[in-house]
Structure 1
């Protein structure tokens, strides 16, 4: 999983122009347009755009994409609130990650949803693809990046995003566990693959955060006590003290550029090198690893 996470970062660094700027603006506007058309057509617009495997096989290939714009709500007030909320969290994630990584995250979740939904259709008899779980994982991503952001529930009660995210995860598992046997046999084969799809996308893009959380609660104590980790932390302290004396925080081991001289550059530390070695965005994936 770590290699996939590193591959994502490598791709985004090498292709900064990849993606659609302000992606959530387009998603929200198109979804709002579909909602308005549904209001005047009795749901005909959503019927023409939803994921229907039989119609896709007949040539209606646009349904492979347009299911992303099916409105999640049927009341105007909740539709407006939902669209503003998704635009807010989507633009916040894009601001933190950049256009390339956010677009890749959204695209990965959408593609995996289609693939897992179609695979589930092999034993359910009919593929089910919906954007509900993809929208939910957007909030999970937002809460991971901005855990202390305040969300006003019903416009009144301020709650930190991290607690709402934990509550969402709890409710998801609770809804699955409390199903009776008959309902579970029908619903689980359809819902579990879709959940697995978006949570797999989340795990790939947030693997570093997940490892930190596991370490904090004691699941990675063995790793934290390893000689290499201890050496890395000691070297990090020495580097921080040296940086304070020299007037910069990061310096590339290859080209010698610093964050003080080039504030526009991104600097990262290589976990495969022995010790604590910093590299700029041009050399983080293009350098010989230190072995001692």
Structure 2
């Protein structure tokens, strides 16, 4: 945490704001190339893929051009729903973490994927055939899944409509996501395994680096308990400290509920995690 704070103070002004919009823009370009290539029977993606062999032989643009390769899909409606879904997740995470930390998370996943591709390339013997074979697995698909995992950790009790029908909490969808990743790890190629490890490594390193474990030590817990007793006298029965201005829920309605004040509302209005980013601002 201290390292990221120092980095943010020093380089925070260089952070890319609204990074998710640029990611969506890359996907749109990628889908145009994908569908355009299928019409003219040209595979544009073979010139964009993350192939270490071609990179070390002068095709340096492949270090970034692979970001244009979108998850394959022949259903336009599914593509639009997926883009809107990940746009919503990314924008919410950027507002929650700040642009710099969100940049570190996404670009860290990109960097780990590139490093993993080169490690796999050299382990496989540096062959152009194996390089092209594994390069098809390297896309931002699993980085997107790591965005989903990060969102689920940040908002575990937020409900979404799974398959646009079934209401489920994010933490249970995250369990399904992890099970899917493990399935791909077991049955996928080494290219897929490498990109999964890269995305999960980014997820693990980021959350380990941003968690302050001192706050859960017995000494710190005892100190906080003594401080709360000294500062906040025992409230009368039935009195609550938090209440959502939209749904009226309080901390007594669930141990995992989180409440935040909205800085854009005119007044001291508090909202639960389900309505913090979806309510209508009061002016």
The answer (yes or no) to whether the contact 1:144–1:162 under 8 Å persists in 2 is yes
Contact 1:116/1:194, CA 8 A, preserved across alignment: yes
Aligned partners of 2:15 and 2:103 also within 8 Å: yes
Query: Residues 186-201 of structure 1 correspond to what in structure 2 (within 5 A)?
Result: 187=189, 189-201=190-202
Contact 1:120 1:193 in 2 (8 A): yes
State the Cα distance separating 1:134 from its structure 2 match: 0.9
Other-structure match for 1:202: 203
Post-superposition shift, 1:12?
A: 1.9
Structure 2 CA distance for partners of 1:82 and 1:234, relative to 1, 3 Å:
same
Q: How many residues align structurally?
A: 222
Normalised to the residue count of structure 2, the TM-score between the two structures is 0.68
Structure 1 residue 169 corresponds to structure 2 residue 174: no
Is 2:118 the partner of 1:118?
yes
* 1:149 counterpart residue number: 158
**Contact 1:203–1:210 (8 Å) recurs in 2:** no
Quick one: structure 1 residues 13 and 147, their matched pair in 2 at CA, closer, same or farther if it must change by over 3 Å? Answer: farther
Cα offsets for 1:29-62 (capped at 9, x unmatched): 1211221222122253322222122221232212
Task: Specify the alignment match of 2:266 in structure 1.
Answer: none
Superposed counterparts of 1:260-275, under 5 Å: none
CA contact (8 A) 1:113 1:194 kept: yes
In 2, distance between residues paired with 1:154 and 1:225? 41
User: How far did 1:230 drift?
Assistant: 4.4
* Cα distance in 2 between the residues matched to 1:175 and 1:211: 32
Does structure 2 conserve the Cα–Cα contact (< 8 Å) formed by 1:137 and 1:198? yes
State the 1:158 CA deviation.
Answer: 1.7
Shift of 1:8: 2.0
The aligned residue for residue 92 of structure 1 is: 92
Measure, in 1, the Cα distance between the counterparts of 2:230 and 2:72: 52
Q: Which residue of 2 aligns with 1:254?
A: none
Residue 175 of structure 1: CA displacement? Answer: 4.4
Kept in 2, the 8 Å contact 1:149–1:161? The answer is: yes
Contact 1:12 / 1:18 at 8 angstroms: preserved in 2? no
Looking at structure 2, the residues matched to 24 and 157 of structure 1 have their Cα atoms a distance apart, in angstroms, of: 26
> 1:211 & 1:157 partners in 2: Cα distance?
35
What's the TM-score, normalizing by structure 1? 0.66
- Report the CA distance between 1:155 and its aligned residue: 1.6
User: Are the counterparts in 2 of residues 34 and 45 from structure 1 also a CA contact under 8 Å?
Assistant: no
Partner of residue 167, structure 2? 158
Cα distance in structure 2, aligned partners of 1:6 and 1:166 = 30
1:229 aligned to 2:220?
yes
Structure 1 counterpart SS, 2:14 = coil
Counterpart for residue 80 of structure 1: 80
> Which residue of structure 1 aligns with residue 63 of structure 2?
64
Counterpart in the other structure of 2:26:
30
5+ long unaligned stretches in structure 1: 213-219, 243-262, 264-292
The alpha carbon displacement at 1:89 in A equals 0.8
Structure 2 gap segments, 5+ residues each: 234-262, 264-283
Change (3 A) 1:78 1:166: same
Kindly state the Cα deviation for residue 231 of structure 1 after the two structures are TM-superposed: 4.2
Instruction: Specify whether residues 15 and 209 from structure 1 end up closer, same or farther in structure 2 by C-alpha distance, changes over 3 A only.
Output: closer
C-alpha contact 2:108 2:202 (8 A) present in aligned 1? yes
CA contact (8 A) 1:137 1:199 kept: yes
1:24 Cα deviation after fit:
0.8
- Structure 1 residue 85: Cα displacement: 1.3
What is the Cα-based RMSD across aligned positions, in Å? 3.0
